[in-house]
Structure 1
Amino acid sequence: MNDHLIPRTESAYSYPLLIKNLLQAPLVAAPDQEIVYRDSLRYTYRTLGERICRLANVLTSLGVKAGDTVAVMDWDSHRYLECFFAVPMIGAVLHTINVRLSPEQILYTIDHAEDDVLLVNSEFVPLLEQIKGRLDTVRTFVLLTDDRKPVAGSIPFAGEYEELLAAAPTSFDFPDFDENTRATTFYSTGTTGLPKGVYFSHRQLVLHTFATVAALATPLTHGRFHRQDVYMPITPMFHVHAWGLPYVATMLGVKQVYPGRYVPEQLLELIARERVTFSHCVPTILHMLLKSPASATVDLAGWKVIIGGASMSRTLCLEALQRGIDLFTGYGMSETCPILTLAHLTPEMLARPAAEQAEIRCKTGIPLPLVHLRLVDEQFRDVPRDGQSTGELVVRAPWLTQGYLKDHKASAKLWEGGWLHTSDVANIDPHGYAKITDRTKDVIKVAGEWLSSLELEDLLVHHPAVAEVAVIGQPDEKWGERPLALVVTKPDQQPPVTEKQLLHHVREYAEKGLISKQVVLLRLRFVAAIDKTSVGKTNKVALREKYL
Structure 2
Amino acid sequence: MSNEYYEYELTLDKILDTGIRTFPDKEIVYRDIRRYTFSSFSNSVKRLVTGLKKLGVKKGERIGVLDWDTDVYFHTYYGVPLSGAVLHTINLRYPLDLIVKTILHAEDKYLVVRDEFVPLIEKAKNIIPPGMKVITYSDNKEKVKSPISNADFWELIESNEPTEEFDVKENDMSTIFYTSGTTGEPKGVWFTHRKLFMHAMSVALTGTRSPFNLSPEDVYMILVPMFHVHQWGFPFVTFLAGTKYVLPGRYDYGFILKLMEKEGVTYSAMVPTILHLLLTHPDAPKYTHVFKKWKITIGGSALPEGLARKARELGITVTTGYGLSETCPVLSMGYYNNVAQKLDAEKKFSLQISTGVPIPLVQIRVVDPDTGKDKKPGEIGEIVVRSPWLTKEYYKNPEKTAQLWRGGWLHTGDLAYIDEYGYLHIVDRDKDAIKSGGEFIPSLLLEDAISLHPKVAQVAVVGVKDQKWGERPVAFIVAKEKVTEDELRQFMLGLTDQGRIQKWWIPDKFIFVDTLPLTSTNKIDKKVLREMAEKNK
For the aligned pair, the TM-score class normalised by the smaller chain equals over 0.9
1:259 equivalent in structure 2: 248
Measured after TM superposition, the shift of residue 137 of structure 1 is: 6.1
Q: Give SS of 2:124's match.
A: helix
Q: Of 62, 65, 84, which residue of structure 1 is paired with 2:58?
A: 65
Pairwise CA distance, 1:532: 1.1
Scaled by the length of structure 2, the TM-score of the pair is 0.95
- Residues 176 and 110 from structure 1, CA distance in 2 versus in 1: closer, same or farther, beyond 3 angstroms? closer
1:200 aligned onto 2:191: yes
Please give the alpha-carbon distance, in whole angstroms, between the structure 2 residues aligned to 1:268 and 1:433: 33
2:88 corresponding residue in structure 1: 95
Distance in 1 (alpha carbons) for counterparts of 2:353 and 2:23: 35
2:274 counterpart of 1:285:
yes
| CA displacement 1:115-152 (0-9 Å, x = unmatched) | 11100011212222222221126611111211123445
Q: 2:215 aligns with which of 185, 208, 226?
A: 226
Alignment CA distance shift 1:334-1:9 (3 Å) = farther
- 1:163 alignment partner, one of 152, 155, 159: 155
Deviation, structure 1 residue 345: 3.0
- Give SS of 2:283's match: helix
| Corresponding residue for residue 3 of structure 2 | 10
Distance (Å, rounded) in 2 between the aligned partners of 1:130 and 1:176: 35
Q: Secondary structure at the match of 2:354?
A: coil
1:545 — aligned with what? 531
AA of the residue aligned to 2:410: L
Matches within 5 A, 1:99-498: 99-136=92-129, 139-151=132-144, 153-155=146-148, 157-177=149-169, 179-219=170-210, 222-298=211-287, 299=289, 300-345=291-336, 355-377=346-368, 378-385=370-377, 388-490=378-480, 493=481, 496-498=482-484
Taking the aligned partners of 1:313 and 1:521, their CA distance within structure 2 comes to: 17
Q: Secondary structure at the match of 1:244?
A: helix
Distance in 2, Cα, partners of 1:176 & 1:417: 32
- 2:493 is aligned to 507
**Aligned mate of 2:520, from 534, 541, 546:** 534
For 1:21, the equivalent position in structure 2 comes to 14
Cα offset, 1:253, TM superposition = 2.7
Residue identity matched to 2:484? T
Residue 158 of structure 1: how far off its partner (Å): 2.1
Residue aligning to 1:5: none
Q: Work out the percentage of aligned pairs sharing the same amino acid.
A: 41
Judged with a 3 Å threshold, the aligned counterparts in structure 2 of structure 1 residues 511 and 111 are, in CA distance, closer, same or farther, namely same
TM (normalized to structure 1)?
0.93
Q: What number of residue pairs does the alignment pair up?
A: 531
Q: Which amino acid aligns with 2:437?
A: A
Query: How far off its partner does 1:351 sit?
Result: 8.5
Q: Which moved more, 1:48-57 or 1:141-150?
A: 141-150
Pairwise CA distance, 1:160 = 2.3
Q: Which deviates further from its counterpart, 516-525 or 296-305?
A: 516-525
- 1:209: how far off? 1.1
3-state DSSP class of the match of 1:61?
helix
Query: Match of 2:407, as an amino acid?
Result: G
Match for 1:121: what amino acid? R
The answer to whether the Cα contact below 8 Å between 1:207 and 1:399 also exists between their aligned partners in 2 is yes
Cα separation, 2, equivalents of 1:521 and 1:216: 38
Corresponding residue SS for 1:497: coil
How far residue 84 of structure 1 moved from its aligned partner, in angstroms, is 0.8
Once the two structures are superposed, residues 348-378 of structure 1 have per-residue CA deviations (whole angstroms, 9 ceiling, x without a partner) of 8578776544422220001011100000013
Tell me the distance in 2 between the aligned counterparts of 1:129 and 1:24.
38
8 Å CA contact 1:370–1:398 kept in 2: the answer is: yes
- 8 Å CA contact retained: 2:137, 2:143: no
Q: Give the deviation of 1:538 after TM superposition.
A: 1.3
Residue equivalent to 1:4: none
> Cα 1:543–1:137, aligned 2, differ >3 Å: closer, same or farther?
farther
- Structure 1 residue 507: deviation in Å? 2.3
Deviation at 1:55, TM superposition (A): 0.6
- Partner letter of residue 154 of structure 2? E
Letter in 2 for 1:272: E
Give distance in 1, aligned partners of 2:313 and 2:130. Answer: 52
Instruction: Output the aligned Cα RMSD.
Output: 1.8
Find 1:77's aligned residue among 70, 73, 77. Answer: 70
Q: CA deviation at 1:461?
A: 1.6
Mark the CA change 1:353 to 1:129 in structure 2 (over 3 Å): closer, same or farther.
farther
CA-to-partner distance for each residue in 1:390-420, whole Å, 9 max, x for gaps? 1110001010001101111011001111110
Runs of 5+ in structure 1 lacking a partner?
1-7
Question: 1:229 offset after TM fit, Å?
Answer: 1.3
